[in-house]
Structure 1
Amino acid sequence: MPSTSALVRPVWFRWLVGAFFGVLVGLGGALHRDYGVGWDEQLDRLNGIINAKYVALKLAPELARRQATFAQIPDMRDNQDADHGVLYQLPLVVLEKVVGAEDSRDVYFFRHLVIWLTCVGGIYALYRVGARYLGSGAWGLAVAAALVLSPRMFAESFYNYKDLVFLGFFTVGIGTLHRWLRQPTWPRAALHAVAVGAAIDVRTMGVLLVALTLGFAGLEAWARPALWRRLAGGLLLMVPLLVAVVVAGWPYLWEHPVSHFVAAFSSFSRYRADMLTLYLGREISVRELPWHYAPVWILVTTPLPYVALFLAGLVVVGAAAVRRPLGWLRTAAGRFDLLVLAWLFGPLLAIIVLHSVVYDGWRHLYFAYPALLLLAGRGAQAAGRGWQRATTRPARLAGYVAAGLLVLGLGHTAWRMVLDHPYQNVYFSFLPGATAERLFERDYWGLSGREGVEWILAHDSSAAVPVATEPRTALMLHNAQLLLPPAERARLRMVPVGQARYFLTTYRWHPGPYPDSLGREVYTKRVNGLTLLSVFKRAQ
């Protein structure tokens, strides 16, 4: 465990950290208009609006009923997404009104900027946890930079309100847990309870923080018996505060908190529809995924340098644990290692054992990704120390080669992010494009639909342009038009396939070729050899 002095940052380093996060804020300002509207964005926003109506009816019913759009908003009892917390979505809806965003184009650009800034906060939380875990602010910043240089995470930090926001909240919860375990004071216990409650109100999976808190409080009491009373007292404080935060931040729980929370939590082990997903070249039900689904997705979408360093870190931590298990657990560093291991492998094993439904790659497990990066940091540290201790020329030469390969790998990842922009969400680490599109889902968010619609309207000057897509992906086409300027949006006509001049597909649930009856393919979008989008036009 690093000493306090090891975490003291010199002035120049504080300026470096400020510059790093300042650049991230600037990137958000420059790039947030480049991404399309994701599959779930409208539904997430609607959930926030429904909850805003519910809260308004509870707190100011007469004022709420005088609002022009009141009657058009569904009631809470008709909300299919009531089992999703709205601690993030509800304030976001309010912020839209504060900034005066009315047109859908302004609304979603604003929301993309806000979610990016929120995710920057999550990156900062990882920097702080990494600095503590690795004993150095520089190493903490390196781990934070690795999260930024994770292509899929980068892209989804602009539109994935569920998983990337939850990643940040969960990381904050890990940070407050570790600080409380080291010094179990009342203020730190209260702060951790608030952090856990907030995470649960973003995604119900935040209850894993409760399990980690209980388990590691017990472990800390075993390792440091003199603290057991303070730890027990902290837990007693956390329980009512945690419950209060969860209920207060989730209006769905206000009337029947226990039964509604149980219903929301149980929904994570099932899916409302028997949706199909493409995995290893076969379309299979999301209810019948093999145990290796998530591990394989993690492998093929994580940059290879991180995978290699993670495996090295796992060996380092595993060797320390196996050599003297009890002695390892009695050290603060060993318990922190175990916390990081539990953060990564706990959710993964839970999904495998409970046969929980996951889909759209491994996005439901994104919140565990920071733990993988922290272990990769341990691997990088160990490799660096081993190279410093090397005394023979071949060993030092091998170190130079390994360092060169690492730099090349990171450089290639960064270059891919630039070339693939704004489609870093379809990044595959080592699979050729043709192989990836044959084996796995592609643009499951439907973001490329925006580019297809914009291309059609730019190349067809008709007053009305009829466009179709597959019935199952109609939402993709609807989302695509939300970011069009109003005049262009008015020209677009979404019609059945038989009435369309253009047919647009992002290949979701239809990975194969399309029949000639749809017309001639006039536009294709490919990213690193992977086909994302096709536009077909019928002969007039």
Structure 2
Amino acid sequence: MPAALAFSHRWLVGAFFGLLTLLGVGLYRDYGVGWDEQVDRLNGIINAKYVALKLAPELARQQPTFADIPEMRDNQDTDHGVFFQLPLVVLEKVMGADDTRDIYFLRHLIIWLTCVAGTWVVYRLGAWRFGSWRWGLVTAGLLVLSPRLFAESFYNYKDPVFMGFFALGIYTLVRWLHQPTVLRALLHALATGAAIDVRTMGVLLVPLTLGFAALEIWYRPQQERRRFLLSFLPYLPLTAVVVVLGWPYLWENPLGHFLEAFQSFSRYRSDMLTQYLGHEISVRELPWHYAPVWLLVTTPVAYSALFLIGLGVVLWAMHRPQQWLASMAGRLDLLFVAWCLGPLLAVIVLHSVLYDGWRHLYFIYPAFLLLAVGGLRALWCSWQQASRPVGRAVGWVGAAFLSFGVLHTAARMVLDHPYQNVYFSVPPAAVTGKLFERDYWALSGREGLEWILAHDAGTAIPVATDPRTRLLLHNAQLLLPATERARVQMVPPEQARYFLTTYRWHPAPYLAYGTPIYERQVNGLTILSVFRLH
């Protein structure tokens, strides 16, 4: 690559990620506190106490809040690793964040920066597979222009963060498969262990590594196989060491506690209900199509169409398996298919518990996009090579469709801000509200309380919500200034002046409370209502 062109591409890539970083810095204060944020933070705090007691017990007991922090044995979220949460708790102390407003704004910014790093990994994967930084940027751009992932990259500590760590595990795997050195195997072990310590599903990196290592050895020349095997030897032991060191809950009983955490995928501690296709169903009795349907209705239509084309290209190449797998590109495509479809099929076959849409499977989305970009690249090449007017015309129609889809998605993200988390590609809003959960993170509760406080001068304002979503009001207060927070009183509906709802587990109108005095709609879908009670 000429020096000027290399400089130009580095500048463009740097500008893309620099602007992405600045975008988050400008937006991170716009999002409310999600449903799980307090629980996730508490998990980090409990683990911090546990580690402190192990390493510096006397100093730990001198902390003013020591007695108020539950013990590890009382922690209900031991099946969630704290590789990301534990450093966040330490960072709060270092930055001197004491008020909940400062704490959660800081955490939202760090989540965003972490997800930007994950987007860079996806860019590298795209550039590696397609041999071009331009196609890498296209892949990263589609990830950024994925409305739900964009919003959740500010407040969802588990799923988008794990997606980035899992993508990093795939990237280190690809680098090691390409050039099998001990150093690259060690880096892959670190990435694998870190992914598992963020979410136990990261263990899927291990069978992917074993399977594709065996495939690589099969297609390598005889003289390279010994070096490949020798570089692989430290992978499993180091992965195990990283997993145990990065997950304090495993320290006392590594194997037993890990198996206990892993088994939690096929069960759930309570029989929670979820809204799906117009019915409330148990998360333990989900139909097989739950995850695929959620994926399709929350992903831009253009991306899904490109994915099907890309998957079709790969399947077509499979009709000559020996020739296809003999190339590194073919083996990479097979890896992306296994990464995307393998976990999806696993949760269907194992009847794994899912809820809140398909967020537990967000980590397959980079593979979905890589296959989609593969489809786009195939269309582009066909268009470039088309000699007949009909072929060129079809290409122009396809380009117009894709351009409209991307621009429409970008426009929706701007107009829906900061509620891109309720984006639906299909069906229309009038149907969506009856079929699926809306703002299941309850982010709009913050806006509801802010509106009430701005329109009621009372020093003590009694506010209620549905008993099952009482946590909504508590979370909605966390980002309010301390003086405003003190004005809100959480009370039962019969004692309240205002009733606030985000419609979780209650898709029907609240007819008993009359007409709302304030509502928030996103693309025609009502996600928040405030009622004045007499």
| TM-score (ref. length: structure 2) | 0.98
Instruction: Give the one of 206, 227, 231 matched to 1:230.
Output: 227
Residue 522 of structure 1 pairs with residue 529 of structure 2: no
Contact persistence 2:182–2:232 (CA under 8 A): no
Task: Name the structure 1 match of 2:316.
Answer: 319
Contact persistence 2:123–2:136 (CA under 8 A): yes
Partner-residue secondary structure (3-state), 1:33: helix
Deviations 1:461-488 (CA, angstroms, capped at 9, x unpaired): 1010000111110111100000000010
Partner-residue secondary structure (3-state), 2:297: helix
CA distance in 2, matches of 1:222, 1:149: 39
Instruction: Give the one of 445, 453, 456 matched to 2:449.
Output: 453
Contact persistence 1:7–1:136 (CA under 8 A): no
Task: Name the structure 1 match of 2:63.
Answer: 67
1:304 maps to a residue whose letter is: V
Equivalences for residues 53-452 of structure 1 within 5 A = 53-226=49-222, 227-322=224-319, 324-452=320-448
CA distance in 2, matches of 1:9, 1:211: 40
Residue 487 of structure 1 pairs with residue 483 of structure 2: yes
CA distance in 2, matches of 1:519, 1:302: 35
Partner-residue secondary structure (3-state), 2:442: coil
CA distance in 2, matches of 1:210, 1:9: 39
Residue 41 of structure 1 pairs with residue 42 of structure 2: no
Deviation at residue 8 of structure 1 after TM alignment = 11
Deviation at residue 339 of structure 1 after TM alignment = 0.3
Deviations 1:396-428 (CA, angstroms, capped at 9, x unpaired): 122112111211111000000000000000000
Contact persistence 1:7–1:131 (CA under 8 A): no
Partner-residue secondary structure (3-state), 2:275: strand
CA distance in 1, matches of 2:244, 2:308: 40
2:267 maps to a residue whose letter is: R
Deviation at residue 230 of structure 1 after TM alignment = 2.6
Deviations 1:264-283 (CA, angstroms, capped at 9, x unpaired): 11011111111111111111
CA distance in 2, matches of 1:536, 1:189: 59
Contact persistence 1:520–1:538 (CA under 8 A): no
Deviation at residue 228 of structure 1 after TM alignment = 2.8
1:345 maps to a residue whose letter is: L
CA distance in 2, matches of 1:79, 1:371: 34
Deviations 1:118-141 (CA, angstroms, capped at 9, x unpaired): 000000000001101111110001
Task: Name the structure 2 match of 1:496.
Answer: 492
Query: CA, structure 1 residues 441+9, in 2 after alignment: closer, same or farther (shift >3 Å)?
Result: farther
Instruction: Give the one of 518, 527, 534 matched to 1:532.
Output: 527
Contact persistence 1:200–1:206 (CA under 8 A): yes
Partner-residue secondary structure (3-state), 1:291: coil
Contact persistence 1:37–1:483 (CA under 8 A): yes
Query: CA, structure 1 residues 6+391, in 2 after alignment: closer, same or farther (shift >3 Å)?
Result: farther
1:254 maps to a residue whose letter is: W
1:253 maps to a residue whose letter is: L
Deviations 1:155-203 (CA, angstroms, capped at 9, x unpaired): 0000010000000000000000011011110000000000000000000
CA distance in 1, matches of 2:78, 2:295: 29
CA distance in 1, matches of 2:76, 2:227: 42
Deviation at residue 508 of structure 1 after TM alignment = 0.5
Deviations 1:8-41 (CA, angstroms, capped at 9, x unpaired): 9711110000000000110111000000000000
Query: CA, structure 1 residues 531+495, in 2 after alignment: closer, same or farther (shift >3 Å)?
Result: same
1:197 maps to a residue whose letter is: G
Query: CA, structure 1 residues 130+93, in 2 after alignment: closer, same or farther (shift >3 Å)?
Result: same
Q: Which runs of 5+ in 2 are unaligned?
A: none
CA distance in 2, matches of 1:398, 1:525: 41
Partner-residue secondary structure (3-state), 1:361: coil
Deviations 1:54-93 (CA, angstroms, capped at 9, x unpaired): 0000000000000000000000000000110000000000
Deviation at residue 236 of structure 1 after TM alignment = 1.9
CA distance in 2, matches of 1:242, 1:455: 50
Residue 508 of structure 1 pairs with residue 504 of structure 2: yes
1:136 maps to a residue whose letter is: S
Contact persistence 1:6–1:135 (CA under 8 A): no
CA distance in 2, matches of 1:68, 1:91: 20
Deviation at residue 217 of structure 1 after TM alignment = 0.6
1:308 maps to a residue whose letter is: A
CA distance in 1, matches of 2:514, 2:402: 47
Task: Name the structure 1 match of 2:463.
Answer: 467
Query: CA, structure 1 residues 8+140, in 2 after alignment: closer, same or farther (shift >3 Å)?
Result: farther
Contact persistence 1:504–1:534 (CA under 8 A): yes
Contact persistence 1:466–1:492 (CA under 8 A): yes
Larger CA deviation: 469-478 vs 218-227: 218-227
Partner-residue secondary structure (3-state), 1:356: coil
Partner-residue secondary structure (3-state), 1:32: helix
Partner-residue secondary structure (3-state), 2:295: helix
| TM-score (ref. length: structure 1) | 0.97
Deviation at residue 392 of structure 1 after TM alignment = 1.5
Deviation at residue 519 of structure 1 after TM alignment = 4.9
Query: CA, structure 1 residues 7+188, in 2 after alignment: closer, same or farther (shift >3 Å)?
Result: farther
Give the aligned length: 533
1:162 maps to a residue whose letter is: K
1:249 maps to a residue whose letter is: G
Larger CA deviation: 391-400 vs 452-461: 391-400
CA distance in 2, matches of 1:243, 1:235: 14
